[in-house]
Structures are given as structure tokens and as C-alpha cells.
Amino acid sequence: MTENPVQLSLNTALIDFTDPNFPTNGNGAQYSLGNRMALRCGDLNQDGRIIIQGPGNDILKLFTTILYHPNNTSLHASFIAKGYFEADANLDGKAIFAGKGNEKAVLYIATKEVFITPPFGVIPEMYVLLQQIP
Ligand SMILES: [Ca+2]
Ligand SMILES: [Ca+2]
């Protein structure tokens, strides 16, 4: 989300969230991907929080999306759900629980720098990132 409201029109200047100097709302809304920025993702169950493990975690939403997909008749955790899913953390059109490109890895990458920099300094076993909407 932008730091300040932006009126959209045909003449609106480009909004580039990958620009490290582009101001966003709240603390830690973006994370670094090399020399570009990305908006933090991971609220797969859309409850306003990103939780990797523990009660209310977002990984469960990913797991149930895969396990209960109508085409996953063998209930394989490695099944890839193709299409538009809330559990698709990186918005590549696939929800993946296990294997290359899985969403769990996306969540870890999108959240880890919050906890390896002060004041945390270490990655705790359980943590919650709260949604920030003005
Ligand atoms: Ca969540
Ligand atoms: Ca994905």
C-alpha cells in the first residue's frame, strides 16, 4: 500500500513498489529481493496476520487448498493446484505445498528479514506479522 492515498486516473504517475525509494504505508511493508523491493505476502487465510507456525497459521490454508482440491483425488501433498488461489503466495498461478517453488518457502523469504534485524535479531519459533491498514 502506498504511504499516502493516490487518486487513480489516466494521468496517475507510475506506482512502482519495486523501487526501494517508493514510500509505503506502515513498517516493513516491503522486503528486499536483490536490488528491488517486493510487497510482503503470506496472509493466505486472509485474517490480517501472517503466521508461519502455531495457532491460526497460514500454512494450514495452503495445505487444505492442496489436499481438498477436486483434482487431487489421491490426496498427495505434492499436488500442484493451478489457477487463482488465496494460497498462491507468489501469484504465479500455482499453489504448491511441497516441492520446488512451494509457497512455504515464499512465506519464509517474505518474512524472515523482519526477524533477523533488530529488535528481534533471531527468528523466533512462532511469530505474527500484523496487517497494517491506515
Ligand atoms: Ca493469516
Ligand atoms: Ca505460487
Q: Find the 15 Cα to ligand 2 centroid distance in Å.
A: 23
Residues lying with their CB under 5 A of ligand 1, a single-atom ion: 43, 45, 47, 49, 58
Q: How many other CB atoms sit within 10 Å of the CB of residue 4?
A: 8
Task: Give the number of the ligand closest to the Cα of residue 56.
Answer: 1
30-41 per-position pLDDT tens digit: 888 889 988 888
Written in H, E and C, the secondary structure of 44-95 is CCCCCEEECCCCCCCHHHHHHHHHCCCCCCCCCCCCEEECCCCCCCCCCCEE
Task: List the grid coordinates of 1.
Answer: 500500500
| pLDDT given at position 78 | 96
Task: Give the number of the ligand closest to the Cα of residue 100.
Answer: 2
Q: Find the 51 Cα to ligand 1 centroid distance in Å.
A: 6
4-61 per-position pLDDT tens digit: 888 989 998 889 999 999 998 887 788 888 899 888 888 999 999 888 888 899 999 9
| pLDDT given at position 1 | 84
| pLDDT given at position 124 | 60
| pLDDT given at position 42 | 86
Task: Give the number of the ligand closest to the Cα of residue 43.
Answer: 1
Q: What is the mean pLDDT of the chain?
A: 87
* Residue 63 main-chain phi, psi, to 5 deg: -60, -45
Task: Give the number of the ligand closest to the Cα of residue 49.
Answer: 1
